Structure 1
């Protein structure tokens, strides 16, 4: 029987990690291991890597968020990732890996024996230089389908480098998370090219970037393209105003793929939401989930429109939160 273990925030240190590694040497059933928010440091992760390198190690998912890992530990980890036969999900969020650490991990992604399908690098303190390393790695990687780069200072230039690879038809990436990456509307042209040319990409989260209405206009044109396969789109806190309403209306009316969208923390007024509801109430609308701010959903004037949507389009759910998905936060599902 497959097993999982959640040991996050357990005050574990290097010594504990060494003892745990010895215990894991003989374990043949542990497939999920969450060690996040422990002071493991590079030395502790090095002990774990000795287990990962064992061809009989059954681990498939490993979470090491906030473990004090740095670029020094990435070298050992990168070596282990080319030897493990089963590890498919790795979370390294909230570790100071920097560009040098990302470069080491990128060498692993280019290795033909790399089995990773999901890699979480959220808040790992890298820049457009790290993006360039990842872009090169993705050109040769065939296994990775989920990549979380949220809350790193990629900027428009870093995303441009990524998009050069992502828009290639042979890119296998399916889910890309770019929340809080200091993007502006200038990045949307490159992202639009990816949406039109990459038929594998179905989940894109751009939340907490100042895309503004101009950026959404560029994205919407790509989203309406019949080649675009995006089903889940995150636009939370993207600087959108009522000026983007027509683009949203056209998207909801004509798009055949987007079924989940997050529009929370944007300045959409009463008129904008009312007009959205006119489209959403149609039984032909493809949307299945829409996230809007709680303060808007509970306004008396708006509630009557939402009731109308619920009656006429019962398959659509509108809530002030986005549903959790295993792909987005898999380490919380152990």
Structure 2
């Protein structure tokens, strides 16, 4: 009854006025606020409103008038209640009034005609709109120290959604019309207008690009959008990143080249996914990237993924690509991931980079078939061998990814000759290559040389390389003396057995920060060795010991690690056959200290359950539970290590 009897707080005159202004701006943005249905074309906003003010009798309230009349506090309150297009209208009005007023000064040189010394900042309102529309959007790629332009991010993502929706419609077999004339769905329109009375022309794709295209920086294009018409729509954009998907036909290639030519001056990153980029096509693409009237390229990142770059039974290499690698002095990242690359092609790429003294920082040649590198080099001309013996180098390269290339132990001898040219290499990934212990032995001299130079490797991945405990022991003995922090080492998915534990525990006393020993067959004995010999001070931040079937020994090792690794942040210990009593052992350690620990993942251990040991919920960090445990016994799929 109290709720029924409670009186609603009556609106104030101020709130009613702000609501009326908001409704007016919203209707105006949707083209329904004035006779004739004229909407806001933002590029000519100021001029249009000034003309209307002269023609009308004063009944129309222009956005710049609103921005000038209201103090910042009320303007901010108004902005928080506006839909995106209305906020855009107000944003431009405030900017126009700010810019025009800077030229108005009194006889003493003081500014007049404005109460503000700077243009209003609506970034908070734009951020709220962005997070409301895309609440699950991942923002991890943005630096917290850099101010995000939420207005630009909002409209860029909006334009990408418009492109994706247009691509779906254009891919239909019966589609024969103009892409620019496609109307956006009610879902998209309602999210930016919040009005039922929207002029028809404002729903067209071309209209959105006409007024918002300048916000686009990073875009993804399906093949059907690679046309001259779409290129014309993007003429006012300053594109920095382009991603093309499923480009195959000659018509699509021509559209891509047209887009690249139009934006070569601003383009920094280019990526192709699921495309056919045979040498003739690659020549066209690389030529389109060239700066007008010169041999220079502005591109900084060039990536091809899950595509074909070689025609069958052809040894032809794109001259345009080699030219780009030779003259693109700004190129920092080069990636050929899963492109059916042959050893001869890889050799040519590295040879060109060596000869051109490239400033490349990251080279990704992963998921190709480079087996037989040794025989390919032996059969080739002496130019590549000469380059390896000369003073040429790739000193700028810091990251090399050779994962999943079917490299054999014999190939590693020549790979190491190439590595010797990379004196500043910090990260190396050779996972998923059956190089065996012999391949690792070839690598050890490189690690020792890097240590002598004072530039030791910082990240090494050697997962699933058919290594034994003998080869890994040699590797760990080589890496242990490094006095600089080793950021990460992963030797997961190699059947090493418990015999590697004695060397591994010594390595834990080094400066390693992240260690991945998932599924290496430690077993109860291996964990027992690790627990008993664990150094008093361990610098680890992250460790993955999953799928090692350690049983109770795993729990004792984790509890000891919690007490002796003050920098520990996370532990992955899933699928280790932990018994129920292991939770008490781990919790007892957590009662003594949690330090920086945020997560201990025990999922996949079928005998564990938070239902039978609710004390696991007592330990939290920033409101989230530290221990991740199955809710019920047997609720996780068992891990089966048998082949």
Q: If the TM-score is normalised by the length of the shorter chain, which range does it land in?
A: 0.7 to 0.9
After TM superposition, list the pairs within 5 Å mapping 1:148-159 onto structure 2: 148-155=364-371, 156-157=373-374
Say whether residues 1:224 and 2:476 are aligned partners. no
Shift of 1:85: 4.8
Shift of 1:90: 1.8
Shift of 1:41: 4.2
Distance 1:56 1:273, change over 3 A: same
Distance 1:177 1:245, change over 3 A: closer
Cα RMSD (Å): 3.4
Shift of 1:113: 4.4
Say whether residues 1:260 and 2:488 are aligned partners. yes
Q: Distance in 2 between matches of 1:121 and 1:159?
A: 20
1:69-116 CA distances to partner (integer Å, 9 max, x unpaired)?
333320111212332753211221111101535554123211x34532
Aligned length: 315
Q: Distance in 2 between matches of 1:159 and 1:176?
A: 20
Say whether residues 1:93 and 2:305 are aligned partners. yes
Q: Distance in 1 between matches of 2:560 and 2:318?
A: 49
Which residue matches 1:24? 234
Q: Distance in 2 between matches of 1:170 and 1:218?
A: 20
1:292-329 CA distances to partner (integer Å, 9 max, x unpaired)?
222028643244334434533344666589xxxxxxxx
Alignment partner of 1:47: what SS?
A: helix
Alignment partner of 2:280: what SS?
A: helix
Which residue matches 2:10? none
1:231-290 CA distances to partner (integer Å, 9 max, x unpaired)?
11121111112222421331342134543122121112133245413430x2xx121112
Contact 1:210 1:237 in 2 (8 A): yes
Which residue matches 1:44? 252
Unaligned runs of 5+ in 2: 1-148, 169-220, 519-545, 575-643
Shift of 1:152: 2.0
1:128-169 CA distances to partner (integer Å, 9 max, x unpaired)?
221232133112142322111112222232589979757856
Q: Distance in 2 between matches of 1:42 and 1:320?
A: 51
Moved more, 120-129 or 184-193: 184-193
Q: 1:304 aligned to 539, 553, 556, which one? A: 556
Q: Distance in 1 between matches of 2:434 and 2:273?
A: 27
Say whether residues 1:75 and 2:298 are aligned partners. no
Q: Relative contact order, CA 8 A, sep 6+: which one is greater? A: 1
After TM superposition, list the pairs within 5 Å mapping 1:1-334 onto structure 2: 14-18=223-227, 19-28=229-238, 30-36=239-245, 38-39=246-247, 41-54=249-262, 57-83=265-291, 85-98=297-310, 99-101=315-317, 104-110=320-326, 112-113=327-328, 115-138=330-353, 139-155=355-371, 156-157=373-374, 168=391, 170-171=393-394, 172-225=396-449, 226-227=452-453, 228-256=455-483, 258-273=486-501, 275-280=503-508, 282=509, 285-293=510-518, 294-296=546-548, 299-315=551-567, 319=572
TM-score normalised over the length of structure 1 = 0.79
Q: Distance in 1 between matches of 2:469 and 2:399?
A: 28
Which residue matches 2:612? none
